[in-house]
Amino acid sequence: MAEVKHSKKACAVNPLKMSQPIGAALAFLGMDQALPLLHGSQGCTAFGLVLFVKHFRETIPLQTTAMNEVTTILGGLENVEQALVNIHKRAAPALVGLISTGITEAKGDDVDGFLQLIRQKHPELADMEVVFVSTPDFAGAFQDGWGKAVLRMVETIAKPSNVRRPWQVNILPGCHLTPGDIEEVKEMVEAFGLTPVVLPDLSGSMDGHIPETFLPTTLGGTRLDELRSMGESAYTLVIGEQGRAAAAKLKDIAGVPYTVFDRLTGLKPCDDFLALLSRIANTEVPPRFKRQRSQLLDAMLDGHFHFGKKKVAVAAEPDLLYALTTFLTEMGAEIQVAVTSTESPLLNRVPADEVLIGDLEDFEQGAVGADLLITHAHGRQAAARLGIPFWRSGLPTFDRLGAAHKVSVGYRGTRNLIFEVGNVFIENLHEAVPDDFRPTAEPAASCGTGCAHGAAAVACH
Amino acid sequence: MSALKQKVASVLEEPGCATNQAKGEKERKAGCKKKLTPGAAAGGCAFDGAKIALQPIVDVAHLVHGPIACEGNSWDSRHTLSSGSHIYRTGFTTDMNEMDVVYGGEKKLYRAIKEIIDKYDPPAVFVYQTCLPAMIGDDIEAVCKAAAAKFGKPVIPVNAPGFVGSKNLGNKLGGEALLDYVIGTREPEYTTPCDINLIGEYNVVGELWQVKPLFDELGIRILATISGDGRYADIATAHKARAAIMLCSQALINVARKMEERYGIPFFEGSFYGVTDMSDALRKICALLVRQGGPTDLPARAEALIAREEAKAWARLEPYKARLKGKRVLLFTGGVKSWSVVSALQEVGMEIVGTSMRKTTANDREKVKEIMGTDAHMFDELPPREMYRMLKDSQADVMLSGGRSQFVALKAKTPWVEINQERHHALAGYDGIVNLVDEIDKALTNPVWQQVRQPAPWERPDWEQDLEGWQSCNQEECAGEVCHG
């Protein structure tokens, strides 16, 4: 049980946190033929765009309502209207994710009202779905924005239904799952003869494929007809707390039962996940997973030597923090410091004495003497200053290749994680020198009285 | 009219700006603010621009007053380098929350400044205004003034909230902060008749260090760089320079012009990209220094250095000429890099099939026209879709651009070289142009292009027939490989 503490500083130093609106934008980027539109000044979009381009190494469709100081004060109806009309004309996406920011929230723009007026005035936009999500920059963090966007998509688009598709299963992954992770989850579900509908599905859009044509929208990801059919699914599986609200909403709308997996990294949650799939599909667990499970057990046995009693400092958003810290402690490591970006019911279950909602300055101070640092790429300065090995996890990872394809869910992902992190420990094994074995001298006071004995004599003449 | 509004208006009417010079009185008064199109806009905001212009000052703390988006989504992502302090790479922000929006963020800002001074003790703190606190009326000038008085340390307000305009406007507003609060506030320990300022040089990936030895050799001291690898104390003394070079097109034209006006420091617009541009810049600064009372042998010494360095550069470029001759380049960047890079690439025999004219001045445009002999291939806008089509249709062999359009080129399976601020290779001076050409050569000759353009076997017509021949035949020369009949 961890105690959750809040940083008391006025000045955040080296932020861990990123803003809600771009978390929401990423959720919309997992939708097919979608275009996220930030309702704010153009910088809000530009920073998010650059961040995603560097992390995913992909072109990122992301637009702005280009608010200026005058339109901010007068209200953004005209800008939202123009933006939607222009986007419809130029990009014709199936879905626009309309995302508010700090200024338009502080002004109090009634965007739902705007949308009604715009719909009346522009019937030509009827073929373009618009989902509005309220995400002020001055509250919450990245994963909150993701969670809200997914909730709003379910709320506005999913339909109640009397039909059940017993073979169809909804998957609601948190933003801490990479496209590679989602691909792994889909394969697990499909292995049971089930059809997964993933909301949103970054593995279709942000997985780095080479399309044959260029589109100003996303290409791949969850289709709107899939989203509409989610109410007909047999079950909803949620990975990470951030998807709980959306799953509960879908249950309200269409009666689809759900289970929240607080993580899918580690032996136990993977066992449970497959057991549940087996029950939903009413089939045996396919042999390949028995094989993979056995490989994971072997990796745990081989790896535990290197994890035991290692002190690890971790900074990540709540769901990722929880997955990483439970994994590490289950392998025998200890969490020296845990820092996160925002509130979550998971935080007091993090296996550490305390969890601090803070920044990477707090992280750096707490990490002195640790064996390993784990956080996103912004931890590189702290790692260099502290001279402690650093393993990157989370978004943004702008200074390494393949961030989208890192896999840490399922038996194979967990096995992979043991090897990757374990190898960092192995690489930094301390090779002994004679001094390591020399008994340390007692403090000077004891030398004063008598230096007669053994090694102590050597140290103090 | 608020102080910020006046400032924005004055910057937009900047008389030094070539675009403005070409306008009539009335048009000039209207300012050069281009209205952004909602739903079809690209590019950074004024805050972004101010940060780009000032963050290269390496020994000060750059504190962003705003919600987490403005700093949290973007910090430590630029490649401007430091030869000393690294505090400029630390992300400082007030991370405004709901309470701050309701009650105002001024007190939190004040406390944040105190925390930074207590913990990090930088020579100055730069405070950046953003949209949200500007909207709710936080007066950062007043807070900075109070903090500076209380803590006895310069606290500089940079009033360029994102929503006042473009990145380019933000560059200039950043410059205004230096003019208003920094430049001229200290005296240099000593002066020389060859002290100069570099204005608009940001030391991206160390480019300042790439050209500095040339100035050193001529005995020209760079008194202050605004702002690459800059130190607060040096920039505070910049008013004592004898002359200045303005780089990076006209991003900081207001700084150059006002320093001429206030302190009599003459300047010219130059570039360190390309052999001839580099030589040109050296010649002009030497001539300017002589006019300002510098040593009269300076031009002669410069000519000797230029002759030596040019010969060396041309000799190093020679081997590339045969390989790169006739290769078609699509150049997509803004401002000064267009014309200076165009001439540089033509020097090695490459053909420019298109260049963008975004963010360029009429002067830039004339220069490109002069160099290319035509304006047929100048694009004002090149939407990604169109860019992709050009590349896909093999209308260019290589694209040079900034990071945003990188993946348009790569998805079209076209070689690409980064030349904007995120670049990883220093491209300035006589060595820089060789680096650039080498980068292009490296991109063009990489063996991946041939591989990625090949269709998979099953995508080829008659592929199944091809397969017949794949059966290994026991002949020795085929051992270990698929033998294609």
Check CB contact under 8 Å for B67 and A138.
yes
What the block records as the tokens of B210 is 């790439």
Give the number of other Cβ atoms within 10 Å of residue B312's Cβ. Answer: 13
Q: CA-nearest residue of chain A to B101? A: A106
When CB atoms are compared, the residue of A50, A63, A69 closest to B164 is A69
AA identity, residue B252: L
Q: Tens of pLDDT along A68-98?
A: 999 999 999 999 999 999 999 999 999 999 9
Buried b (16+ CB within 10 A) or exposed e, B376-400: ebbbeebebeebbebbbeeebbbbb
Q: Tens of pLDDT along A325-371?
A: 999 999 999 999 999 999 999 999 999 999 999 999 999 999 999 99
Three-class SS of B442-459: HHHCCCHHHHHHCCCHHH
Integer Cα distance of A233 and A164 in angstroms: 6
AA identity, residue B211: V
pLDDT of residue B64: 98
Q: Are strands B92-93 and A12-13 parallel, antiparallel or unpaired?
A: antiparallel
Nearest to residue A31, comparing CAs of A257, A221, A227?
A221
DSSP summary character for residue A348: G
Q: HSE on the CB side for A347, CA within 13 Å? A: 22
Give the number of other Cβ atoms within 10 Å of residue B15's Cβ. Answer: 12
Nearest to residue A220, comparing CAs of A406, A30, A60, A26?
A30
Burial of B248 (0-12, 13-18, 19+ CB in 10 A): buried
Integer Cα distance of B429 and B309 in angstroms: 10
Integer Cα distance of B19 and B15 in angstroms: 9
**3 state SS of A196:** strand
Concatenating the DSSP letter of every residue in A94-112 gives: SEEEEEE-HHHHHHT--HH
The answer on pLDDT for A376 being more than 90 is yes
Under 8 Å CB-to-CB from A57, ≥6 apart: which residues?
A208, A401, A404, B407
In a mutational test of the A interface, the residue from B73, B102, B126, B386 whose CB has the highest number of chain A CBs within 10 Å is B73
Name the helix (H) or strand (E) containing A151.
helix A142-157
Nearest to residue A319, comparing CAs of A277, A274, A380, A260?
A260
Three-class SS of chain B: CCHHHHHHHHHHCCCCCHHHHCCCHHHHHHCCCCCCCCCCCCCCEHHHHHHHHHCCECCCEEEEECCHHHHHCCCCCCCECCCCCCHHHCCEECCCCHHHHHHCCHHHHHHHHHHHHHHHCCCCEEEEECHHHHHHCCCHHHHHHHHHHHHCCCEEEECCCHHHCEHHHHHHHHHHHHHHHCCCCCCCCCCCCCEEEEEEECCECCHHHHHHHHHHHCCCEEEEEEECCECHHHHHCHHHCCEEEECCCCCCHHHHHHHHHHHCCCEEECCCCCHHHHHHHHHHHHHHHHHCCCCCCHHHHHHHHHHHHHHHHHHHHHHHHHHHCCCEEEEECCCHHHHHHHHHHHHCCCEEEEEECCCCCHHHHHHHHHHHCCCCCEECCCCHHHHHHHHHCCCCCEEEECHHHHHHHHHCCCCEEECCCCCCCCCCHHHHHHHHHHHHHHHHCCCHHHHHHCCCHHHCCCHHHHHHCCCCCCCHHHCCCCCCC
Give the number of other Cβ atoms within 10 Å of residue A332's Cβ. Answer: 15
Per-chain mean pLDDT for chain A: 94
Q: CA-nearest residue of chain B to A397? A: B77
When CB atoms are compared, the residue of B72, B101, B113 closest to A17 is B72
Task: Tell me what percent of the residues of chain A surpass a pLDDT of 70.
Answer: 95
> Taken in order B317, B318, B320, B324, is the CA torsion positive or negative?
positive
Integer Cα distance of B337 and B347 in angstroms: 15
Integer Cα distance of B218 and B234 in angstroms: 20
Give the number of other Cβ atoms within 10 Å of residue B372's Cβ. Answer: 18
Check CB contact under 8 Å for A19 and B131.
no
AA identity, residue B53: A
What the block records as the tokens of B81 is 């380098």
pTM of the full structure: 0.93
Which residues in chain B have Cβ-Cβ distances shorter than 8 Å to A48?
69, 73
Query: How close A392 comes to chain B (CA, Å)?
Result: 16
Integer Cα distance of B175 and B169 in angstroms: 10
When CB atoms are compared, the residue of A12, A47, A80 closest to B69 is A47
Which residues in chain B have Cβ-Cβ distances shorter than 8 Å to A51?
73-74, 77
Q: Are strands B221-227 and B328-332 parallel, antiparallel or unpaired?
A: unpaired
Q: Tens of pLDDT along A382-422?
A: 999 999 999 999 999 999 999 999 999 999 999 999 999 99
Integer Cα distance of B33 and B17 in angstroms: 13
> Taken in order B226, B229, B232, B238, is the CA torsion positive or negative?
negative
**3 state SS of A7:** coil
Question: ipTM of the predicted structure?
Answer: 0.92
When CB atoms are compared, the residue of B73, B96, B165 closest to A18 is B73
When CB atoms are compared, the residue of A59, A90, A138 closest to B40 is A90
Check CB contact under 8 Å for A17 and B44.
no
DSSP summary character for residue A437: G
Under 8 Å CB-to-CB from A306, ≥6 apart: which residues?
A422, A425, A426
**3 state SS of A287:** helix
Q: Is A364 left (phi over 0), alpha (psi -120 to 50) or beta?
A: alpha
Chains A and B form CB pairs within 8 A to the count of 222
Q: How confident is the model at residue A449 (pLDDT cuts 50, 70, 90)?
A: very low
Q: CA-nearest residue of chain B to A102? A: B132
When CB atoms are compared, the residue of B71, B73, B404 closest to A53 is B404
Cα Rg for chain B, rounded, in angstroms?
26
Q: Are A390 and A380 in contact (CB under 8 A)?
A: yes
Tokens 């400029």, located at residue: B88
Which residues in chain B have Cβ-Cβ distances shorter than 8 Å to A39?
none
pLDDT of residue B382: 77
Check CB contact under 8 Å for B162 and A42.
yes
Check CB contact under 8 Å for A18 and B68.
yes
AA identity, residue B323: R
The stretches in chain B having pLDDT less than 70 are: 1, 17-34, 249, 334-340, 357-368, 371-378, 380, 421-422, 472-485
Which residues in chain B have Cβ-Cβ distances shorter than 8 Å to A85?
39
Check CB contact under 8 Å for A43 and B162.
yes
Integer Cα distance of B89 and A385 in angstroms: 13
Give the number of other Cβ atoms within 10 Å of residue B6's Cβ. Answer: 10
Which residues in chain B have Cβ-Cβ distances shorter than 8 Å to A79?
38
